[in-house]
Structure 1
Amino acid sequence: MLGEFTDEKAEERFFATYDAILRKWPVPAEELDIATRFGPTRVRSCGPEDGPPIVLLSGGMGTSLSWYPHIAELAARHRIHAVDSIGEPGRSIQTAPMESVEDCADWLAEVVDGVLAGTGHEKVHLAGVSRGGWLALNLATRTTGRIAGVVAIEAAGFGVIDRSFIWWSFREIFLWFLPKWLLRLVASGDPDVRHTVRPLLFAALKYKQRLPEMHLFSDDELSAIDVPTRIIVAERSVIQRAREVAARLASLNPHIEVEVVPKTTHGLSLEKPELVTARIIEAAHHAATT
């Protein structure tokens, strides 16, 4: 089965909101539809065409637009490709079901090939938040032939997602409805970003996802990653035990570096946007010079 909106009105509302937020995209961009066997995937590309390429993968229901606060700095020297993931609400159009984690890897590999076609570059750097981080790592555990490196921010795949995540989500949603002046006092990050993406998130709830479950990464899978990989974990994450993840990965693979960010939650990319942007640029620079 394919992902779909509950009805036509819900779909129209979502895309009206999507287009309104798109106006905040800070630099000129080109819209591409990359053909994959799961359907055409919308990619928003910007930055210098000869710049080292970075593919950005959003969290669940986030769409490529969730990256807009990071784009101006990221696109200053890099060619940025922000993806609307297949099987989620966005401008990508799913035409075939994704039934396994292997399908997820195959889809992303096709997107990477499409991004690189005709550019003169042989590899991309992958950066993803939450489910996007899982997608990046899921591909990297299988093949790194076209990958220069990975940054995964609060990625799924390292712990069972349980009711703690649900309670955290309710708290986070409550924060998004606070007036900006109060939000500045009780939460880290730019309150304008939360207020901007809030209507898109709620509109996305009318979309029925039909995607394979994000599996937990095995030691063998993580040991197989052979490119520079930075995994950024929130100290107060509700989807994994940060210190345990750091200790586990330190003993598994020298290519993987783990950073635990103090006093942050699963909303790390909202709470510390400057850190996230800086880590992606640092990792891409490191990959380009090694």
Structure 2
Amino acid sequence: MSTSRWDDLLPRLISAVIMVAVGLLAIWQGGLVFHALVVLVSGVMVWELVCMLDSKRSKSSLVLGVVAGSALMLAIEVPVSFALPLIMLPSMVGLGRMERGGVTYAVYTAVILLAGYGLMALRDDFGLTWMAWLVVVVVVTDVAGYFAGRIIGGPKFWPRVSPKKTWSGTAAGWVGAAFVGLAFAATTGAGVGLMGISIAVAMASQIGDIAESAIKRRTGVKDSSNLIPGHGGLLDRFDGMLGAALFIVIAGQLVDLPTGTP
């Protein structure tokens, strides 16, 4: 087995441990602490997005990142009817500042902010248990896919867009998510149907990953930024969470999750 497959494992592990520690603390605290982390991460992701799509707009990227974070910070504090235009506002503001990639920016920025809003609402309304479930599903999907893809290999999932992803890793992510769903179903009384929801969340997470890979392929960049050793940027690390959180926002209209611990 070639050691080159594992060259990035150590920096990925170190960065992952730090991110997990910060994330777990914020999730545990909830409230303002968790809101602040989500707002910061969302603003940075918008900054990375603008830098990828329109490298000539270095000043605009910072402005739009701040606008996005500020809009999200206000959105979670007001009724939903007023939160929605705040979530869409950064997309509208940025359209006029982008020389290229404006439509992609507008759509993806709306996804980032809606996903961030969904994460904060999930923690606020459903408690620690279901926030932990979502995070664990996404993390296990990613980790299972990483190791299965490198150990098993096999046919590529979509080589033109994401040459490293394999069908074995993709399927391993679904299996891992199913086990997470089963474990949470057993401890929360949510029922075995949670396994199916968890697999769907895993799929949404993988679609989020692929969507960001497509943007990078289109713009000719390897990583969204170099902020995180071994992981690239925040978009590279949280693209799966964006897909999963957006899915929960939509699926939450169809499936009721029991309330968890505060």
TM-score tier after normalising by the smaller chain length? under 0.3
Return the structure number with greater strand share.
1
> TM-score scaled to structure 2, two decimals?
0.26
Return the structure number with greater helix share.
2
> TM-score scaled to structure 1, two decimals?
0.25
